[in-house]
Every structure is written in C-alpha cells, then in structure tokens.
Structure 1
C-alpha cells in the first residue's frame, strides 16, 4: 500500500521519477531470475509486465527525441543485455542515434482535387477532413 502511495507522488514529482525508474528496472530483473534464459516457453506475465511499463502514463507517451523515449530505449537495452543479445548500436551499445527532420506548416493543410463535374474542390483540415 505504501508503494502505491509513493507511485502516485512519484509520477508527479520529477526528482522522485529518477528514483522510480531504477527501482522498476530492478524489479524486472528479479523476474528474470525466475525465467530460464533460452527457454523455448514464452512467459506471458513477463511480456505483459514489460508492455504495461512501456505503455504506462509514467512514460508520458514517449514522443520522438524526448527524455521519456530515451528512458524506454534504455529499459529495452537493459532487457536485451539480460538476455545476452549482442549490442549492434553506436559505440558498441544498444542505442543508435538518428537525425530527425521536423517540418513546419506554412498554412492550414488543404486537399484540392477535381470533383465529378471537373470543377476544383478544396477541403480544409478540421472542416472537411481530419488526419
């Protein structure tokens, strides 16, 4: 019960979040002590635990090039290391840097096409279409 109360506070407090992440990773490593490496059986509860952590609100969506994405990638890298998978990323690690290109719109998105009678039809984003 005390842990649940701490988790509610930790998600809101950035300093506590830094403590929470290693604790969660440590807990996941305890689970690996119960599973044989190289086993031909899939541990459904183990997979669910990893998925629930990575999809949790604590990860705040893991947007591209965010701190939360780095935390998720580091978590996955630690799991790969625990399974004995050789790293193939930058500098002999599991992570690989990539350049992101971000585009900015110069105006509201529009789609223009020819209608059935050959007349030009324009749809505006938010009115006639959504993406």
Structure 2
C-alpha cells in the first residue's frame, strides 16, 4: 500500500471513502477544475490513491462545515502530504476572516475556543481508509 500510488478505481475509492459512488461522482464534478489534485484519468477511467481518497473525504467534512468546495479541497490537500497520526485533528476557524490564521493539524485540541471552530478527525478518517484498503 502506497499513499500516493493511483491504483484504485472510482468504485473502490467510494468504498474506501465510505460513501456511495454517486456521492463521490458529485464531489468530483464540483471540483472538476482541480481534479488533478485528487485523481488521474487513464483511458477514460479515473484512478485514485489513498491520499486522493483521504483528500476527498476530509474536504467533504469541510464542505459540511460550511467551506466552499475548492477551499475545502485546498485545506485537505495541503495537510495530507503524508498520513497523519491516528489521533490527528484539523482545527480551523468556522468563519474565515483576517487574523484567524490558517487551519492547523494537531493531536491536541485547544483547551478553549474563542470563536466558532471546525474540528475534523483527520487521523481517524485516514486510519479508516487505510484499514479498509488492507
């Protein structure tokens, strides 16, 4: 199992991400302009790596938290260069405004929040994808 080897079909990617194929298709369609960040087309078929699947699944969480799809893809892509530890979290301000800072990846959430925050259990999500792929 290699993190960046694009060897999984669309159906396998949907299964590994824990979502229906139609949902995966919808995610891909909404981000088709940046599809090279999370997939590769070969002979008309789309292939994914474990990283790609994790990027799509984590971005899906950020979209449900109110982020724009392209912003969500960027957040996930930038923070998933390598598999995170199983207890890793991505902590991001719910509203983007000056001085809030970028989303961070951490294993220890802040003791207190001073603003609305999105917390995504990225380590648990990636561990589940890797477990399903084994």
Q: Of the two, which has the highest radius of gyration?
A: 1
TM-score bracket, shorter-length normalisation: under 0.3
What is the TM-score when the length of structure 1 is the normalising length? 0.23
Q: Which of the pair has the greater relative contact order for Cα pairs under 8 Å at 6+ separation?
A: 2
